[in-house]
Structure 1
């Protein structure tokens, strides 16, 4: 019986490279080997693609936080339907039925790998090109939510090319402290909490290392809650979890290195709060044209206001990541979650093909 070949794509030239490798390892272990053939594609920090032949080798990469040079280099050959993965050493092609990208940050969550999948005519787990790019860009994301009357925190955007004209007084209406964030980065990489004006310059320098556009955001005082979303047209919501940071904010270090932050699943909420959070999360998902999966992060203020913080369109799957934990608490095991995500990728791919066929039909009618 032929199994479906799933290409787990991980690593990449991103500040979240190490987290991606750890996520990929957990995904590979969770995928049902009786239904799927796993092909592990690890991308190093310079952008070279390698075929990691088994989970044990991937585990070594994850432990080291980098990809060794003793793997065969590979490359996708975009040729429309049936595009193969070519081993550049043996010249042996591998057939891929579906992409499972777990490239956190740039190249994975910004629509880049989704665009390659489209060129290769291969289904891809997670949101498509547009939804991914919207979710990645915090500035655009906030604009879209504001247009759809979904509450977000006040902020201003600073462009690197126009930094010389930036007036510090512009942030006075935000108050202090503020958070300074690269617009296109995840896992709190490049994020600083600024408590005084004197700290602003260093925070901007730090953030501009990762992006050409930076968000200066008003601090929201409230509980940090996360909810997992699953589905295309039929959207499902998970149990809601709470982040309990033990430091000033939920930084990259507190998430993945010293792991000082704690989480609580389920969060202690009343029925009205749960219903409102789920309703706003689904509206956010739909407004940003997302599909497959996403994690929606919100704040709950003391007066029961829900403010959307961000979406994570390819959330972590590490041992401490919230997305799989939220679904497991809701009764969906990691193995069944992987199968569902792959199923949704095929479902969305088929729906997109129907749309393309309709466009072709319209074009043919216009010619007659």
Structure 2
């Protein structure tokens, strides 16, 4: 019988999206084929402390089972990470990491950089694409350079706001107008995002967004439909059929998305054939422009004239059994949830193997 692959599942994290990560991890851990993988859950607390119990033996029943206790002797990030790295990552054998860390300190290239240094294959995007995609201002600059249409926007640092807030407000009003959206540059899941219809709401929204980031993005509203597409692959990416969120409100915040259960999915989205093809083509262009690998969900607005605008690229989309990303793939080619995870793991091993051909010693290439 072949030796099982060690699968290190990272979840939680020092992020306001900590709870979303737990929901993703629960579904993944309940779906992994234990005949192929020895699973090692790694819980990262809200303070950044890494916790583990070794190989998963029992069935994971719910979120409480994911909250692993902190070792009192390792109650800081550096000590917990050092011990865990030596004990788990350094133990040898075929191994791969599956980071399920949404938002800051996990989806932003930090954990990806750590895994690169440890020479551990990992699922999903690399350091640069992770960092770029999570920073909305940086991603928009790259997307603009690639010539992909997107909403007009302004990026605003906190120092700009503190030193010249009224001037910033006037610039937003003259350039973007109302309604507009205020977003922390480096967060997802609609946390800290506000729709603004007047100056008073704009000022309050800016102050709220700066609670979560030191840079924000303000965008002109695009009235229309929200179309999403799942992309997967390394060098040769594939796009799924497009999906759509059906809702009556102009904006759904965190509560409406994750707690109230008021979003309805339409997969595939009802689109003209040429529009669906354009969505898939532009999604792959955006994916390649940011250097993505493994997976991403690409979100668009479709206005009433039929024009597409790229909204954002999410390098770690929601991944529960009821999330858009896995459902779009099942509706595209029949790939079920567990098989999709294994496919993403295969991409991780392929990318890691490709990197082994890179030389770090100039003498070796003579």
Using the size of structure 1 for normalisation, the TM-score is 0.90
User: Match of 2:344?
Assistant: 341
Seen in structure 2, the aligned counterparts of structure 1 residues 10 and 182 have a Cα distance that, compared at 3 Å, is same
Task: Report SS of the residue matched to 2:228.
Answer: strand
Task: Report SS of the residue matched to 2:11.
Answer: strand
Task: Report SS of the residue matched to 2:106.
Answer: coil
Structure 2, unpaired ranges of 5+: none
Question: Match for 2:124 among 119, 123, 126?
Answer: 126
Superposition deviation, residue 54 in structure 1: 3.6
Aligned counterparts of 1:305 and 1:248: Cα–Cα separation in 2: 19
Matches within 5 A, 1:45-56: 45-52=46-53, 54=56
RMSD: 2.4
Task: Report SS of the residue matched to 1:338.
Answer: helix
Aligned counterparts of 2:100 and 2:20: Cα–Cα separation in 1: 9
User: Match of 1:11?
Assistant: 12
Matches within 5 A, 1:23-38: 23-38=24-39
User: Match of 1:220?
Assistant: 222
The question of whether the paired residues in 1 share the 8 Å contact of 2:23 and 2:320 is answered with: yes
Seen in structure 2, the aligned counterparts of structure 1 residues 365 and 34 have a Cα distance that, compared at 3 Å, is closer
User: Match of 1:21?
Assistant: 22
Seen in structure 2, the aligned counterparts of structure 1 residues 246 and 261 have a Cα distance that, compared at 3 Å, is farther
Task: Report SS of the residue matched to 2:195.
Answer: strand
1:249-293 deviations in Å (ceiling 9; x for gaps):
132111111111211111001110111001100000000000000
Question: Match for 1:192 among 194, 207, 216?
Answer: 194
The question of whether the paired residues in 2 share the 8 Å contact of 1:75 and 1:85 is answered with: no
1:314-351 deviations in Å (ceiling 9; x for gaps):
11112431111111112111111011000000111112
Seen in structure 2, the aligned counterparts of structure 1 residues 2 and 68 have a Cα distance that, compared at 3 Å, is closer
User: Match of 2:141?
Assistant: 143
The question of whether the paired residues in 2 share the 8 Å contact of 1:137 and 1:184 is answered with: yes
Task: Report SS of the residue matched to 1:6.
Answer: strand
Structure 1, unpaired ranges of 5+: none
Seen in structure 2, the aligned counterparts of structure 1 residues 55 and 365 have a Cα distance that, compared at 3 Å, is closer
User: Match of 2:354?
Assistant: 351
Superposition deviation, residue 85 in structure 1: 3.6
- Worse-matched range after superposition: 115-124 or 49-58: 49-58
1:113 aligns with 2:137: no
Aligned counterparts of 1:198 and 1:59: Cα–Cα separation in 2: 46
Aligned counterparts of 1:175 and 1:95: Cα–Cα separation in 2: 57
1:46-105 deviations in Å (ceiling 9; x for gaps):
111111554867544x259x82537796944499xxx64459xxxx95867111000000
Seen in structure 2, the aligned counterparts of structure 1 residues 320 and 242 have a Cα distance that, compared at 3 Å, is same
Task: Report SS of the residue matched to 1:239.
Answer: coil
Aligned counterparts of 1:144 and 1:291: Cα–Cα separation in 2: 16
- Worse-matched range after superposition: 16-25 or 165-174: 165-174
Question: How many matched pairs?
Answer: 354
Superposition deviation, residue 295 in structure 1: 0.3
- Worse-matched range after superposition: 2-11 or 70-79: 70-79
